[in-house]
Amino acid sequence: MFTRHVDRSLSRYHDGDLPTAQRQRVEAHLTSCGRCRAALEEIEFSAKLVRQLTAVSAPPSVWNGIDAASAGSHRDVGRRFPLRWAAACAVVLVIVSSAYWWTRDSRVGPWEVAQTRDGISRRMTSGEWVDTVDGSEARIIVGALGTVAVAPGTRVRLGEITQSEYRLALAQGTISAEIVAPPRLFIVDTPASTVVDLGCAYTVTVGEDGAGQLRMTSGWAALEFKGRESLVPAGAICRTRPGAGPGTPFFEDAPAALKQAVDDFDEGTRREQALAVIIREARARDTLTLWHLLSRVDKSDRARVYDRIAAFEPPPAGVSRSQLLTLDADALRKWREELAWKW
């Protein structure tokens, strides 16, 4: 699809000078464009650097020089001082630019990993493995975004770091991530799915067979695999299976029967019975599970799922039953955003 980049509007966006409609367009674009997100980061970083500059008093010799020059002819002042100021500005500009490029490089440098067994913190590069199979623990510093705790018995490969992406691959074991960053900047690949951070804290576990589980402790994340996506908010769990991708998310505090039925449904065992249990046991909060099922059940069962969700929360204005039953993407998103007030 043709995409118009928004880099020309980013300075005004950063300063909060854009009208609401334009701001929303920029924000929408930023969610899917790594290039513009990186450009915004550079603007933010430069602005931060400028804010950190402190005013320093000039030494007395400078003021003496100014006084002496002031005593001279006005024509001399007009000729010499602009040159001096220009030179001073150029020096400041060079210092600021150097500082920016120096620190900018360090931001996208190698990973920093602290392993608790030897207590040593070391720099590791993309492609290296953090291995705690010996029973040790480790902590990975994800730039300025946050940290990832690596539990004993885990293998994680450090991926590429770019301005728009930090990537890890979890082969086996458990990691707990705490990330404070714009959505989609931190990504964890697992054998069954990819965990895309949307501003959150979570724990991912991968077993020997490659199957795994995502447990959200705050915010929300998306699990993705070959176009299939599960959104998992805080308090919810989603399992993944190799080849099948992300399963159906459910809240940890959901009725036990519902949780078992979700597992059965995802594994394809007694699907019809499992769906009946989910529909029967669902609470208002479990519309999280039902909303995901809407696009995963057979067409003949879709109306039953729709009716159960609608009993808790009818679709918002402008969204029709027929749109939802035909899985109109925009209608599904609008309903999800309304249902999430109960999640």
**CB of 235 or CB of 246, closer to another protein:** 235
CA distance 115 to 189: 21
Residue closer to another protein (CB basis): 131 or 286: 286
Could you tell me whether strands 250-251 and 194-197 are parallel, antiparallel, or unpaired per DSSP bridges? unpaired
Closest separation in Å from C-beta 164 to another protein = 14
Comparison of 142 and 275: residue with beta carbon closer to another protein: 142
Enumerate residues 6+ apart whose C-beta is below 8 A from 108: 143, 161, 162, 163
Find the radius of gyration of the CA atoms of the chain.
27
- Dig out the tokens for 327 from the structure: 């899985």
Helix (H, G, I), strand (E, B), or coil: what is residue 112?
Answer: strand
Between 28 and 86, whose beta carbon lies closer to another protein? 28
Q: How far is the CB of 103 from another protein (least distance, A)?
A: 18
Partners of residue 169 on adjacent β-strands: 157, 189
CB of 43 to another protein, least distance (A): 9
C-beta of 224: minimal distance to another protein in Å? 13
Question: To the nearest whole angstrom, how small is the minimum distance from the Cβ of residue 222 to another protein?
Answer: 9
Tokens of residue 148, six digits: 């990832």
When the beta carbons of 175 and 198 are compared against another protein, the nearer one is 198
Alpha-carbon distance of 343 to 249, in angstroms, equals 12
Smallest gap, in angstroms, from Cβ of residue 33 to another protein?
Answer: 12
Coil, strand or helix: which one is 232? strand
| Site residues for another protein per CB under 8 A | 13-14, 24, 27-28, 30-31, 40, 44, 180-183, 198-201, 217-220, 231, 233-235, 253, 285, 333, 336-338, 340-343
Identity of the residue, 28 or 90, whose beta carbon is nearer to another protein in the bound complex: 28
> 239 vs 334, which CB is nearer to another protein?
334
CA distance 271 to 265: 5
Strands 212-218 and 201-206: antiparallel
CB 236 within 8 A of CB 187: no
Residue 146, sorted as left (phi over 0), alpha (psi -120 to 50) or beta, turns out to be left
Q: Which run of H or E residues covers position 65?
A: helix 60-71
Q: How far is the CB of 235 from another protein (least distance, A)?
A: 6
For the bound state, the minimum distance from the C-beta of residue 287 to another protein, rounded and expressed in Å, comes to 11
Question: Could you please report the per-residue DSSP string of 92-129?
Answer: HHHHHHHHHHHHHHHHTS-EEEEETTTTEEEEE-TT-E
